[in-house]
Amino acid sequence: MCGELDDDDAGQKLEDHLYTSFLAHARRLLAEQTRAKIDPASPAAYADRLFSDALNRCSRDCERLDEDKRYDTLSMQALVFARLAGFLASHVALNEDPLRKMMEAMMHGYTEAEALAPDHGHFHDDETGYDHQH
C-alpha cells in the first residue's frame, strides 16, 4: 500500500495546484474587470458586477477554510452555480434559447481561465500522472 500513499500525495498536489490556479485567475480577472471601462448603467455592467460579486464570495469563502477543505469547496461551488444557472434558465422564455446561452457562457468561462493562464493552466509533474496535449 505504499503506492496508495503516493497516489494520495499526487492527487493532493494536483488539487492544491488547481485551487491555487483558481485563486490566481480569480484575482487577475477581478482586477481586470475593475479596470474595464463600460457604462455602469448597462446590462453588461450589471452582469459583470454580479459575476464579480459571486467570484469574490467564492474565493473569500474558500480562503476562510482550512487548506485541506478549499479544493472540495471550490468543486462544490461549481455545482451550486450550475444548479443556479439551470434554475434561472428554466424561467426564461424558450424562444430566447436559454440552454444554448448557458452552455456558451460556461464554455466562455473555460476559455477565460485558459486565456488568463500564463503557464497554460496547469503544471508539469510526472509524479501526478497528469498529462496534457497542446
Q: What's the per-residue H, E or C state across 37-90?
A: CCCCCCHHHHHHHHHHHHHHHHHHHHHCCCHHHHHHHHHHHHHHHHHHHHHHHC
pLDDT tens string, the chain, 134 residues long: the values are 555 556 778 878 999 999 999 999 999 999 988 888 888 899 989 999 999 999 999 999 999 999 999 999 999 999 999 999 999 999 999 898 888 888 898 898 888 877 766 544 444 444 434 343 43
* pTM, to two decimals: 0.73
- What span, in angstroms and rounded, lies between the C-alpha atoms of 103 and 5? 38
- What span, in angstroms and rounded, lies between the C-alpha atoms of 127 and 125? 5
Grid coordinates belonging to 68:
485541506
Looking at the chain, the number of H-run helices and the number of E-run strands are 4, 0
Task: Check: CB of residue 85 under 8 Å from CB of residue 101.
Answer: no
